[in-house]
Structure 1
């Protein structure tokens, strides 16, 4: 702004004439700081700062991460066992590409690092990250005497936006390894562990990448989204959503079921007679859920990352379902949500917190929301489901109702036979005897 005020009239006009038609974005978004809109001083440290290990230049030298620097050296030394090269030769691979690797970061991140310092930082961070992931997958971190709390924090730190090493660094190091395929499989497994249901074994098979991710957080987002459905582009009325939470949908006869996959886009709704079924992917909620989703949201908000805000939209959709602890309880009962955080109140509060001030892509879940709204506003379906909920909420009330129906049915049958049934042979004989007795 200062240059504009101090420049001549000709300079100002020249800036306008030379301005690009569209922003000049690179093919990959640069590793940068969390966008200003999310940098709340009260929550920044909780969601965006590393607690155990600093990766890359943004948090290099953070006092909280000093202990990890010694572990980086041990992990790097162990990683050398996967290669036939010396530490000098492997480091040279990074050093030879340092100009290109510097471009993976926003300018402010590396402007205080010369090439030699940055190359050593990326070499050490890349080798230790790969070895940490490999040891985690192989369940061999205990061999390095890494305590469980440090291991848990480090696992979360690898998915922070400001704590990323370019994936290109990992590729350079893996390509120099004797077990490149095994290392790539370990990365995939590590990412899947941070997506799937608790206790569910993930396949140790590498998924073919359509393009190289920018970093581990980018790869996590890609795997979480899976194969996305293209939203219907036809014009459709954007009616105001009138339902507020799971409890209201439950009262309208909408049941919650588990989707066929863990893909965030695998959300669907079907309506049968007076019951509806909303299918949702499983989600595990623990201490890492807040930082993980907040950093994915921050990544989607980066100005040079052109995307459809799919994760942001998913969190907004969940927030539309979860208001109170009873909403969480209902999702837990349906097997959709796994609460590893604590109380249901904490889970509800978490989603209410991380969904504040989000701007979702309304097209992604537009069709699902419209179908839910259509079912919700159908008074007949709502009345029937409410009747069933009030009178048949337990098997005992249902059996009592069946018993009453059976008693009424038997009484009706008895009455009908008493009135309309033809006389039996005994009745005829008795009637004749009575007539003869009267005649005598």
Structure 2
């Protein structure tokens, strides 16, 4: 027994000595299950499990998605019409890459399937996905007698973390099609359609000082883009755009550190209503990129610019899966989506907060009541760990404005007296009445005697002499 113990101790010591200095990560994050800390039994089916179509190995054979298997065959047949190859030849291309494609998943996902079964699964799911997207963009899904509710559920299912097909599969199939360019364009159009929010109408505004921008985004040129891991990864990239340094921002730190916003470790403001009471108004950003959040202060008023967002039944699953993707241990990222949801959750507590965001054209409520929208963001914003660096300066400037008492008093005064045309007219009327009274008093005291007054005075004197 002593030898066994000694051997066991040596094995343990050996494991420590041979442990890597840092975790080893692949070039692309593997498709995996939703992290354990997010797998709440009450929400897992609603947010993370497919309701119409199962793609990839995790939910393959799910009874709820059995109807979609027939549609997969029909969509694949249509996809093959636009290729110059037979089903056997195209399937063989996937089969030849199966070891590489298998490595796109965690071992947990593929251990139940042999390579032949997995190759057929990815071939069928890849062809069906591409044809579904193109038919959706071209509005031809009704030709396959696919009902509207199934289309809506399938749209959500394509962006679930556990329901992803490697983008390498889609790329391989697109390159084998006669409509490669059209298919890639359809994917871009489809992803943009799932980002939502109408575009802002451009209008000329007077020049103002550059706001403190958290992250200004712009789309990166296609030839510089890295191939996405899957459709959910592409959706995240399009939502965030690429980071752009403002033209007036130097790469070096500012020479005058006093110009930086003060660091407030505690956030005292709670929601949009409190900000509005302090004279901070919400406006719509110039773009719909999630990072396009900025704050600018003018005199006693502040303006917080937010990107527009549409909220519907797909918003919850979409953001929860993006958050789950950012939490995957092998995905090195800046938690930008998580930070955006945390920021928005800090602004929304009640239905009235949602109402103010709607009034500012920042939020489009397609879900139902404003109360339901508030509940949704409070739910998906629970227990998140954001990147505190992303909105640090914006939050600090808001806090500095919020805690400046004279700005708050002036804003409250303007809110009380100028919030409607009637209160404004009443205020102007009071000022006019006071002004006229003052003028009348001044003339009564300081006005010089008129010629009539002189004549009357002389007549009175003569009458007395007589």
- TM-score bracket, normalised by the shorter chain, equals over 0.9
Could you say which residue in structure 1 is the equivalent of 2:228?
213
Tell me the residue number matched to 2:131. 131
Q: Return the alpha-carbon distance in structure 1 between the equivalents of residues 142 and 35 of structure 2.
A: 37
CA distance in 2, matches of 1:367, 1:266: 13
- Let me know the Cα RMSD of the aligned residues: 2.2
CA distance in 2, matches of 1:426, 1:289: 83
Alignment of 1:10-89 (within 5 A): 10-89=10-89
**Residue 217 of structure 2 corresponds to which residue in structure 1?**
none
Stretches of structure 1 that go unaligned for 5 or more consecutive residues are: none
C-alpha separation in 1, matches of 2:199 and 2:393:
33
Consecutive unaligned residues in structure 2, runs of 5 or more: 202-219
Distance in 2, matches of 1:28 and 1:104, equals 8
Deviations 1:87-125 (A, max 9, x none): 111111111111100010001111111111111111111
Whether contact under 8 Å (1:184, 1:206) holds in the other structure is no
Conserved in 2, the CA contact under 8 Å of 1:299 and 1:305?
yes
Q: What is the rounded CA distance, in whole Å, between the counterparts of 2:298 and 2:10 in structure 1? A: 69
**CA offset at residue 196 of structure 1?**
2.6
Deviations 1:57-84 (A, max 9, x none): 0000000001100000111111112211
- Equivalent position of 2:371 in the other structure: 345
SS in 2 for 1:284: strand
Cα distance in 2 for residues equivalent to 1:209 and 1:349:
40
- Relative to 1, partners in 2 of residues 1:302 and 1:233: Cα closer, same or farther, differing over 3 Å? farther
In 1, distance between residues paired with 2:67 and 2:98?
Answer: 27
1:310 equivalent in alignment to 2:351: no
Is 1:239 aligned to 2:254, yes or no?
Answer: no
TM-score by length of 1: 0.94
Q: Does the residue aligned with 1:419 lie in a helix, a strand or coil?
A: helix
Note if 1:151 corresponds to 2:177. no
How far has the Cα of 1:7 moved from its partner? 6.2
What secondary structure does 1:276 align onto?
strand
DSSP-derived class of the 2:364 partner: strand
How far apart are residue 23 of structure 1 and its match? Answer: 0.5
CA change 1:170–1:11 in 2 (3 A) is same
How far is 1:227 from its partner? 2.5
1:238 deviates by 4.4
* Alignment partner of 1:225 is 2:246: no
2:243 aligned counterpart, secondary structure:
coil
SS of 1:8's equivalent in the other structure is helix
Aligned to 1:271: 297
Q: Please say if 1:262 is aligned against 2:288.
A: yes
Partner SS, residue 112 of structure 2:
coil
Go from structure 1 to structure 2 and tell me whether the alpha carbon gap of 1:106 and 1:43 turns closer, same or farther (over 3 Å shift): same
The aligned residue for residue 102 of structure 1 is 102
